[in-house]
Amino acid sequence: MPDDFFRWVITIGVFLSLGAFIAQTAMVWGMYKATRTMQEKLTPIIDATGPLVKTIRIFADENLPKFSQMTTEATEVVKSMHVQVDRLSEVVKDATDRARAQVARIDGAVDLTVDQVTNASLSVKQAVLRPVRQVDGIMQGIRAAVSVMAQGRRESVDHATQDEEMFI
């Protein structure tokens, strides 16, 4: 490799490094300006919110024990309510079980009463209809006897057959 060529390569490398250094310097200068501008804009906001932050810190320091006590009391109230709800649940369950048992007893009693009323009505029906049938049978016999005596003769078998054919 000739010396002139090597010198040109070194010179180009030095100029490239110089260009990179100048670009970095420009970028750092731009970031400095942007930071300075941002600081100028934020300084009034920080100055205005400083007392507010201080007031909030004082408020929090004064009321932190009160908030802690309130959360402790709220936790105790919730636990107490949980116990009461559990008790109420047991009472409701017991009442439901008792009501279910009473309904079952009432249902059984109603079924038994309906069966007894049915049996009683059948017994009354049989007790009333048996004598009525007997009286009806006696009346039919008397009617047949009176009919036979009034006519003086018996009907023939042909007449009975005619009556039966009319019903068929």
pLDDT single digits (tens) 59-85: 888 888 888 889 999 999 999 999 999
* Residue keyed to tokens 């990179």: 20
100: its two tokens:
């279910």
Instruction: Give 129's pLDDT tier (boundaries 50, 70, 90).
Output: confident
pLDDT band at 102 (very low <50, low <70, confident <90, very high): very high
Between 157 and 109, name the one with better pLDDT. Answer: 109
For the chain, what percentages of helix, strand and coil (3-state, to nearest 5) are there?
95, 0, 5
Q: What is the spatial distance between Cα 17 and Cα 23, in angstroms, rounded to a whole number?
A: 10
Q: How many domains does the chain have?
A: 1
The pLDDT of residue 163? 54
pLDDT at site 100: 92
- Encoded tokens for 102: 């009473």
Tell me what pLDDT residue 152 has.
63
What pLDDT shows up at residue 165? 58
pLDDT for position 153: 58
Give me the domain span that covers residue 8.
3-167
Q: Write the CB contacts of 154 (distance below 8 Å, at least 6 apart in sequence).
A: 148
Whole-number Å distance between alpha carbons of 132 and 128: 6
What is the residue type of 78?
V
In the structure, what pLDDT confidence band is assigned to residue 96 with cuts at 50, 70 and 90?
A: very high
Secondary structure class of 76 (helix, strand, coil):
helix
**Average pLDDT, stretch 3-32?**
94
Closest CA to 136 of 20, 144, 72: 144
Cα 94 from Cα 85, distance rounded (Å): 14
Q: Give burial (CB, 10 Å; 0-12/13-18/19+) of 129.
A: exposed
pLDDT above 80: residue 161: no
Q: What value does the mean pLDDT of the chain take?
A: 86
User: Is the pLDDT confidence value at 154 over 70?
Assistant: no
